[in-house]
Amino acid sequence: MTKHTILFVDDEPGVTQALKRSFRNEPYELHTADSAAEALEILKHTEVDVVVSDERMPHMAGSEFLTVVCEEYPRTIRITLTGQASLEAAIRAINQGQIHRFFTKPCNVQELKVTIRQALIQKDLAMQTHRLLQQYRRKAAILEELVARIPGISEMTDEDSFE
């Protein structure tokens, strides 16, 4: 299984570095960005599983950034982490950015780790379900084609039973 990738985005480098240190023993590839623009550049070149973004950043609010991530990278899990929580920002992040979770600073790092771990398990299960469904559809189409070519091929007689 490939290593999951997390991107921390905050205009305060001390915050992203602290998060990176807190996650250094976790089995993830970690990236940091000091702005939404820098984060979008990383997303162009790196498949990211989880983005944890601050809300209040210059040039682009975190909720605006996560809305772009939602539109351009819909499989990426989006989490808001902010010290300046407002109801408007929370509503925008939930409705437009379709965030997975909204944390306030200072946050409990263990709770953030658990949330990310659970979100990644859910994402992996959804991807596995999608793969299995595609596999089933391909096999059902092959069987349907065989039945059309050779009528009765899928029917069993009493002589074919396993009893």
Integer Cα distance of 80 and 149 in angstroms: 55
- Which pair of structure tokens corresponds to residue 53? 């973004």
Integer Cα distance of 160 and 153 in angstroms: 12
Residue 126 in contact with residue 76, Cβ under 8 Å?
A: no
Beta carbons within 8 Å of 54's beta carbon, 6+ residues apart: 9, 10, 11, 12, 15, 62, 80, 81, 82, 83
Quick check: 118 pLDDT over 60? Answer: yes
Q: What is the pLDDT of residue 73?
A: 94
Q: What is the pLDDT of residue 96?
A: 64
Beta carbons within 8 Å of 78's beta carbon, 6+ residues apart: 50, 51, 53, 66, 69, 70, 93, 97, 98, 99, 100
User: Phi-psi category of 122—alpha, beta or left, where left has phi over 0 and alpha has psi -120 to 50?
Assistant: alpha
Mapped onto helix, strand or coil, the DSSP state of residue 6 is strand
Among the residue ranges 30-39, 63-72, 150-159, the one predicted with the least confidence is: 150-159
- Percent of the chain having pLDDT more than 70? 87
Averaged pLDDT of the chain: 86
Residue 55 in contact with residue 62, Cβ under 8 Å?
A: yes
Predicted confidence band of residue 76 (pLDDT cuts 50, 70, 90): very high
Integer Cα distance of 163 and 160 in angstroms: 9
96/16: higher pLDDT? 16
| pTM higher than the cut 0.85 | no
